[in-house]
Structure 1
Amino acid sequence: MSKPFQTHNQQLKILRSRNISITNGGKAKAILIRENYYQLINGYKHIFLDIVETKKRKEDYYKIGTTFEQIYALYEFDRNLRNVLMKYILMTENSIKSKIAYQFSSECPKEPFSYFNINNYRSHDHQKTTSLIAELSSVTKKNTDATTKSGPFYHYFNEHKELPLWVLITKLTLGQTCSLFYSLKNTTQTEIIKAVLHEFKNNCNVAAQHINPQLYISDFSSAINSIKAFRNVCAHEERLYDYEAKNRNGKPIQTTYFYLNSPTPPFKGGLFDIILLLRLFLTKKDYKQLLKRLDEELAKLQTELPSNLFSEVTRKMNLPKNWSIELNKYI
C-alpha cells in the first residue's frame, strides 16, 4: 500500500497525534521545509519511541515529554558529529595514501606505471589484483582527457610520459586505497605499517614499543577498513552516533589496538573505537583537537536532551561514562 503525500502542515499534525509536543509550529515547519522529513523523523526517532504503545497502536507513538526540538537537536548533533569526524578521517586518509605511495614507488623507482604490473603485487589472488589494476586504469582514464588535453593527470602524461602513484593516489577513494593496500606484498605492507608506527611513536606518550609490524598486517587492514566504513557513513549523511563498523557483507569488523601500550577496552566498532583507531594516524595536536570538538558537541546536546535520553545516546555511541578520561589517556 503506497504512502500518500503529506503537506508540511499535515506532517506536523501527524507528529502531534503521535505524542510529540511542538511548541513553535512555524519554526518546526521551517525545519521540515529545509530538511527531509524521513531523514529527520524516521532517522532519529528510535530513542524517543514508547515501544509498548507503538506495538499496541501499530504505529509510532512517542514517550511522554518528547518534543520536536529534542529530535531535531539529536539530528543536528549527529550532523555536527559527522562533520567533525570527517575532518580527521580525511587527515588519516591522506596519511595512509602518502605512506602507501611512497613505499610502493620506492620499491619500483625506475618502472613507469609500476602499479599496472601484476608482478608487483602479492601472488595468491590474481583475480582481485586484476580487478584492482582495472580500477586504477579506470581512475586514470577518468582524470585524463587526451582529446581536450586537460584533466589533472594530462601534464604528467605529456611532460613525463608516466603517472607516478603519488599523483594517481590523490584521486583514489579510501575504499580503492584500502584495496590497493590489501593487494600489496607482505613485505611492502610491513614497511608501510612500520612507517605509520614510527610516526605514531613520535606523537603518542603511550605508544607500544618493539612491535613487529609483520604480525599485525591483518589488524592494520581491519583498522583502515573500519575507518573506511565510517567515512562512507559521514559522506552519505547516514546516522552516525550509533553506527558500528561493518564490512561489505554486513558483518562486524574486528581489530585490535596493537599500537597502544596501556590496557585498552575490547574493540566494539563504535564511535569510541574509531577515535582510538584514528589516534594511530593523527598528530598529538590533531587528536587533542578532535577530543575537544567531540566534548563541545556532547556538552551542547546534554543541555538539549533529558538526562536519561542523553545517557542513551552516549551508550549507543559506545562511550564509557569516563570516556573523556579514557581517550585522553592516549595523548
Structure 2
Amino acid sequence: MKKFLTHNQQLKNLRHKNLVIKNSSKTKRILESENYYTIINGYRSIFQDPSSHRPFRFRNGTTFEEIHSLYELDAELRNIYMKYILKIEKSFQSLVAYFFAKDNKNNNRAYLDFRNFRKPVLKKGFPRANAIHKTIAMFSNKMANEHDFAIQHHITVHQEVPIWVLINSLTLGEIAYVYYYLKDHLRLEIAKYYKNHRNKEYSTHVYSIRPDDIDNFLFSAKHFRNACAHNERFFCKSTGRIQNIGILKNQMKLYLPKKDFQTFERQINRTIVDYTNKFVSIPINQIKRQAGI
C-alpha cells in the first residue's frame, strides 16, 4: 500500500530520486495547489534515467521546474486542441442535422425510428449493427433533459424537437455513433462536403475523404476530446487508430476550414517555441517526437 506523504516528505522523496529542487518553498506551493500525483507521476517518464528501472531515478540534472514546464506545456496544448476539436464537433453537428433533416423533411421525429438508419456490416473496433437502439435511446434521454432550455421549449410549444435543435446537445463521441448509423447516401453526402471544400480551399484534388475515414477519425478523436475535457496527460496521447497528436492534427486538417487550420498550426508551433528553453536535461525535440509534432 502506498503511504501518505506530507509535502515536505514528497520533496525529500523527489530529491532521493535524483530530482533537483532549486526552490523548496515554490515547489511546495505548486504541489499544494496542483497535486503531486498529477505532475510527478503524470510527466516523469520522459525524464527517467535510462539506466534505472526500479527504483525510479531521474536523469542527472533534471529539475522540478522542467517537469512542471512539461505539465504546463501539456495544458496549453490541450487548450489549443480542444478549441479546434470543438469547431469540428460543431461542424459535424450542423452537417448531420442538415442532411438528416433534408432526407426526412416531413418527419421531425425521424431520428426516433430505427428504420431511418442503416444496419452496417460488423467491423472489428466499431459498434454492433443492432446497437442503433442505444443511439435512439440516447436521443430520447436528451429529450428528457429538463435543464436544456431549447429542448424543453420545443417540447412545450411544438410537442416535438427537430434534430437541428437536439443535435446541439450531442458530444463528438455521440455524433460518431449517429454518423456511423446514417444511411449510406447521407454518410457519402457529408464526406463529399468535406472533400469538396478542402480541395477547393487548397486548390488541389488530392484530398479523398470516405465515410469510413470519417468513422475512423470520429471514434478516435472523441478520446482526445475527452482527454482535453478531463485534463488528462495529452502530449503523448495515443489511440489504436491515431498514434499521436501530430497525426490527429493532420487529420483535423480535413475537417477544419483552411484559415482555422493555419491558425491552429501556428498556435501549436508558437507554443512549442515558447517552451523550448525551459528544458535542459532533455531536448525539446524529444518531447516533440513523442507528440509527433
TM-score relative to the length of structure 2: 0.92
- State whether structure 2 residue 95 is matched by structure 1 residue 96: no
- Aligned mate of 1:233, from 196, 206, 227: 227
Q: Distance in 2 between matches of 1:304 and 1:27?
A: 17
Q: Tell me which of 266, 271, 276 is aligned to 2:245.
A: 271
Higher RCO (CA 8 Å, separation ≥ 6 residues) = 2
Partner of 2:140: 137
How far apart, in 1, do the equivalents of 2:110 and 2:284 lie? Answer: 52
Partners of 1:309 and 1:225 in 2: CA distance: 33
* 1:165-314 superposed matches below 5 A: 165-208=163-206, 216-244=210-238, 246=239, 252-253=240-241, 269-306=243-280, 308-314=282-288
Q: CA deviation at 1:82?
A: 0.2
Cross-structure match for 2:64:
68
Tell me if 1:123 matches 2:122: no
Whole-angstrom CA distance in 2 between matches of 1:154 and 1:243: 38
C-alpha RMSD over aligned residues: 1.8
Contact conserved, 1:128 with 1:183, CA < 8 A, in 2? no
Distance 2:75 2:204 in 1: 32
Q: How far off its partner does 1:229 sit?
A: 1.9
Amino acid in structure 1 at the alignment position of 2:255 = F
Q: Equivalent of 2:292, from 318, 324, 328?
A: 318
Cα-to-partner distance string for 1:270-303 (whole Å, 9 max, x where unaligned)? 1111111111121222111111111111112211
TM-score w.r.t. the length of structure 1 is 0.82
Consecutive unaligned residues of structure 2, counting only runs of 5 or more, are 121-127
The total of aligned residue pairs comes to 286
Q: What whole-Å deviation, never above 9, does each CA across 1:100-141 have from its counterpart, x for those lacking one?
A: 000000000011311001110013566211111011111111
Runs (5+) with no aligned partner, structure 1: 247-251, 254-267, 320-331
Asked whether the equivalents of residues 99 and 196 of structure 1 are also in contact (C-alpha less than 8 Å), the reply is no
- 8 Å CA contact 1:47–1:309 kept in 2: the answer is no
Match of 1:258 in 2: none
The alpha-carbon distance between structure 1 residues 293 and 307, as it changes in their structure 2 partners (threshold 3 A), is: farther
1:273 partner letter: I
Shift of 1:152: 2.9
Q: Displacement of 1:47 after TM fit?
A: 1.1
The CA deviation at 1:201 is 2.8
Structure 2 Cα separation of the partners of residues 77 and 308 of structure 1: 15
Alignment partners' CA distance in 2, 1:318 and 1:195: 28
Question: Percent identity among equivalent residues?
Answer: 33
Confirm or deny: 8 A CA contact 1:243 1:271 kept in the other structure: yes
Kindly indicate whether residue 154 of structure 2 is the aligned counterpart of residue 151 of structure 1: no
Letter in 2 for 1:276: N
List, as ranges, runs of 4+ consecutive aligned residues in structure 1 with deviation greater than 6 Å.
none
Give, in whole Å, the separation in 2 of the partners of 1:24 and 1:290.
Answer: 35
Alignment of 1:163 onto 2:161: yes
Q: Give the drift of 1:312.
A: 1.3
